[in-house]
Amino acid sequence: MNNMGSALSTETDAVCKMQIDKGKAKFTSEHKGKEYYFCSLACKKKFDEDPEKYLSFYDSRK
Ligand SMILES: [Zn+2]
């Protein structure tokens, strides 16, 4: 096993629920001091238009 990059982590795209590799994410958005990751510009735009709608997804998992 090559342990380099073992800190690799993913975040869930709040819009389409895809797993996003933080190291490769091109589309990010900041909301209330937290960073969110998206698979595409389309998802980022949707989030930016109505962040609260998508944030409920995270709240429901905590
Ligand atoms: Zn997406």
Distance in Å, CA 24 to ligand 1 centroid: 14
Distance in Å, CA 1 to ligand 1 centroid: 31
Residue 35 has pLDDT above 60, yes or no: yes
The H or E element that residue 42 is part of is helix 41-49
What does the pLDDT look like over 39-59, one tens digit per residue?
999 999 999 999 999 988 666
Distance in Å, CA 27 to ligand 1 centroid: 9
**Percent of the chain's residues with pLDDT above 90:** 74
> How many other C-beta atoms lie within 10 A of the C-beta of residue 51?
16
Distance in Å, CA 19 to ligand 1 centroid: 9
Distance in Å, CA 52 to ligand 1 centroid: 16
C-alpha to C-alpha distances, 19 to 1, 2, 6, nearest whole angstrom: 23, 22, 17
Q: How many angstroms separate the CA atoms of 60 and 39, rounded?
A: 21
Give the count of domains, the chain.
1
User: Is residue 34 included in any domain, yes or no?
Assistant: yes
Nearest alpha carbon to residue 23 among 3, 39, 9: 9
pLDDT of residue 61: 56
Contact 13, 39 (CB under 8 A): yes
The domain in which residue 45 lies consists of 14-59
User: Is residue 33 included in any domain, yes or no?
Assistant: yes
